[in-house]
A and B are shown apart, each in its own frame.
Chain A
Amino acid sequence: DTAVSQTPKYLVTQMGNDKSIKCEQNLGHDTMYWYKQDSKKFLKIMFSYNNKELIINETVPNRFSPKSPDKAHLNLHINSLELGDSAVYFCASSSSVGEQFFGPGTRLTVL
């Protein structure tokens, strides 16, 4: 009965590869988010979708492309991975302002 789930939990890959992270929520929320948390625990929003429509697109390299096939799923595809992409990526969802529920995170390591 996990509320927000992400796969994979860990991802280790070489520079230059392309990878995807998947997120699913079973809370019935309309809005989903991707956040990046760096090594200093600083959590920063990347994207947000509301009912499959992109509503927040922060200054993120074009190599990052979110996709929302339906309002319960939000995936993140990353092309040409770089060392600086190493971080923990969190998916979150919400139905109202402020109360966002986070997934367990995907720890990405680029070698």
Chain B
Amino acid sequence: QKEVEQDPGPLSVPEGAIVSLNCTYSNSAFQYFMWYRQYSRKGPELLMYTYSSGNKEDGRFTAQVDKSSKYISLFIRDSQPSDSATYLCAVHGSSNTGKLIFGQGTTLQVKP
């Protein structure tokens, strides 16, 4: 079993739709949860960063962590064609080694 599981998609939605992206993880020691966005042929860029359980909102993006079920989500409201990218969830434990464990990434296409 992989430490972080993520459905690779692809996911195709019409412009303006609400998008829900999800990951599950296996180790309850993980405390830091991130979402990275990666455009085609570019490096990943940090989108959202949360610590422990709860919600975090930034504009059209909301990250949600449920540690009891080891489930993390990213919601995109009013999706735009410019949101078309691969979204990678990542988790991190409590050590300070900086080791991120990534999910496989979900490819999202938002059609105009």
Query: Which residues of A line the B interface, CB within 8 A?
Result: 4, 31, 33, 40-45, 48, 50, 55-56, 90, 92, 94, 97-105, 107
CB<8 Å pairs between A and B, sample of 16: A31-B98, A41-B88, A42-B105, A45-B100, A55-B98, A56-B97, A56-B99, A90-B44, A94-B98, A98-B34, A98-B100, A100-B46, A101-B45, A102-B36, A102-B44, A105-B41
Bound-state CA distance A61–B44 (Å) is: 25
Please, which residues of chain B bring their CB within 8 A of the CB of A48? 97-99
Residues of B within 8 A of A (CB): 8, 32, 34, 36, 38, 41-46, 49, 86, 88, 90, 92, 96-102, 104-105, 107
Residues B43 and A56 in contact, CB atoms below 8 Å apart:
no
In the complex, how many angstroms separate the beta carbon of B16 from the nearest chain A beta carbon?
26
Q: Chain A contact residues: over half helix, strand or loop, or mixed? A: strand
- Name the contact of B104 in the complex, choosing from A4, A40, A55, A101 (C-beta under 8 A): A40
Q: Is B104 in contact with A42, judged by CB distance below 8 angstroms?
A: yes
Nearest-neighbour CB distance to chain A for B95, whole angstroms, equals: 9
A102 & B45 in contact (Cβ 8 Å cutoff): yes
CA distance A33 to B102 in the complex (A): 14
What chain B residues lie within 8 Å of A42 (beta carbons)?
102, 104-105
Among A41, A45, A55, A103, the residue within 8 A (CB) of B43 is: A103
Instruction: Please name all residues of chain B whose beta carbon is closer than 8 Å to the beta carbon of A44 when the two chains form the complex.
Output: 102
Knowing A42-B105, A43-B102 touch, does A101 contact B96 (C-beta < 8 A)? Answer: no
CB neighbours of B107 from chain A (8 A): 41
